[in-house]
């Protein structure tokens, strides 16, 4: 019954945001809902607020705490790194699993002309990370991911990585440090 209530509440919140956005677009109502739901930091705040509504105690009764060593950062095992578009192109000689750097939310998955299969994740610290040239897209948009969770796989080849932190794109040198 509790899950049913969560789904109903999520539907009502989504419906309300869409309706307010339509009314705002028509000029019937003046709000900043479009800005709140489309920028990185506000999106994280809205997501955390919604999580608080759905789970006010901050506890999930259906979860079990498990401890394990954190994965070794496979992204840092690249063989070459070079600037590409607004990010960096990394090449790998072996297959790697691409894992979430922190808890976050997948906000885009799809195919783009310049980057092929692409995924964008907003992490809890507000970083917006785009992964391109992926082999597979197995996570749907607006799906929460946990730190260390595999979000995609890459066979040997290239990976596009773009990191935006507080509105600033990291250059190749900063991305190299970010990978560690």
Which pLDDT score, from 0 to 100, does residue 105 have? 94
The whole domain housing 79 covers 74-179
**What gap in Å lies between CA 42 and CA 125, rounded to an integer?**
12
Under a CB-based contact definition with an 8 Å cutoff, are residues 141 and 108 in contact?
Answer: yes
Q: Retrieve residue 7's tokens.
A: 């789904």
Question: Domain check: are 98 and 156 in the same one?
Answer: yes
Same domain, 129 and 166: yes
Sorted by sequence, the CB contacts under 8 Å of residue 149 that are 6+ apart come out as 99, 100
49 and 84: one domain? no
Question: What pLDDT score does 60 carry?
Answer: 55
Please indicate, yes or no, if residue 142 is contained in any of the structural domains. Answer: yes
Whether this model's pTM surpasses 0.75: no
| pLDDT single digits (tens) 94-120 | 888 899 999 999 999 999 999 999 999
Within this chain, do residues 42 and 106 fall inside the same structural domain, yes or no? Answer: no
* 110 and 169 together in one domain: yes
- Quick check: is 61 in a domain? no
Q: Where are the alpha helices (DSSP H) in the chain?
A: 2-26, 33-38, 40-54, 172-179
Is there a single domain that holds both residue 81 and residue 38?
no
- The pLDDT, as a whole number, for residue 26 is 83
140: CB partners within 8 A, 6+ apart: 106, 109
Domain count within the chain = 2
pLDDT-derived band of residue 65, with 50, 70 and 90 as boundaries? low
Q: Which residues contact 100 (CB under 8 A, 6 or more apart)?
A: 121, 123, 145, 146, 147, 148, 149, 151
CATH number of the domain that residue 149 is part of: 2.70.70.10
Give the separation between CA 85 and CA 30, rounded to whole angstroms.
36
- Residues 82 and 159 reside in one and the same domain: yes
Structure tokens that stand for 20 in this block? 């307010």
1: confidence class by pLDDT, cuts 50, 70, 90 = low
In a domain, 63, yes or no: no
Higher pLDDT, 164 or 63: 164
């Amino acid at each position: 019954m509790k899950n049913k209530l969560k789904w109903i509440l999520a539907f009502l919140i989504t419906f309300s945001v869409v309706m307010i956005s339509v009314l705002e677009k028509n000029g019937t109502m003046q709000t900043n809902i479009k800005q709140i739901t489309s920028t990185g930091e506000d999106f994280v705040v809205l997501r955390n607020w919604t999580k608080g509504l759905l789970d006010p105690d901050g506890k999930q009764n259906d979860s079990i705490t498990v401890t394990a060593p954190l994965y070794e950062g496979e992204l840092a095992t690249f063989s070459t790194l070079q600037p590409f578009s607004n990010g960096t192109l990394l090449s790998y000689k072996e297959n790697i699993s691409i894992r979430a750097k922190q808890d976050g939310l997948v906000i885009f998955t799809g195919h783009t002309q310049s980057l092929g299969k692409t995924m964008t994740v907003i992490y809890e610290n507000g970083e917006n990370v785009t992964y391109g040239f992926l082999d597979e897209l197995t996570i749907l948009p607006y799906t929460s991911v946990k730190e260390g969770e595999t979000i995609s796989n890459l066979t040997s080849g290239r990976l596009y990585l773009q990191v935006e932190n507080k509105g600033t794109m990291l250059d190749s040198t900063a991305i190299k440090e970010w990978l560690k």
